[in-house]
Amino acid sequence: MTPGAGTGIDKREERRRRAELAQEAKVVQLKQQVLRRRVLIAAGILAVAAFVWAATHRGSAPAGRVWSPEHGHWHDQ
């Protein structure tokens, strides 16, 4: 047996392990990107829905006031 004969297998095994870890890291990174994208899309949809609701929701009439659809605000009676 020559000196260092066993190190070639060890080095190959180490390279294989590093490659597997790198691949796993890529998979984790892609999953994080997908999750981040979904969260941002959901937040955008909620923001648009909140804006639309706030722009169209008039609520109940304040005392002594009437809503003017022509002007888009409350007027005194």
For the record, the structure tokens of 47 come out as 């923001």
Question: Which residue reads 């597997």 in tokens?
Answer: 20
For residue range 13-41, list pLDDT tens digits in order: 999 999 999 999 999 999 999 999 999 99
Which residue do the tokens 């006031």 mark? 65
Q: Does residue 31 form part of some domain?
A: yes
In a domain, 48, yes or no: yes
- Whether residue 62 is contained in a domain is answered as yes
- pLDDT of amino acid 47: 98
Reduced to 3 states, what is the DSSP secondary structure of residue 73?
strand
What gap in Å lies between CA 64 and CA 61, rounded to an integer?
8
How many other β-carbons are positioned within 10 Å of the β-carbon of residue 70? Answer: 7
Residue 1 belongs to some domain of the structure: no
User: Is 34 inside a domain boundary?
Assistant: yes
Domains of the chain: total:
1
Residue 60 belongs to what domain range?
A: 7-76
Task: Tell me whether residue 2 is in a domain.
Answer: no
Residue with tokens 């070639």: 8
* Prediction pTM value: 0.56
- Residue 36 lies inside a defined structural domain of this protein: yes
Q: Is residue 19 part of a domain?
A: yes
Q: What does the pLDDT read at residue 28?
A: 98
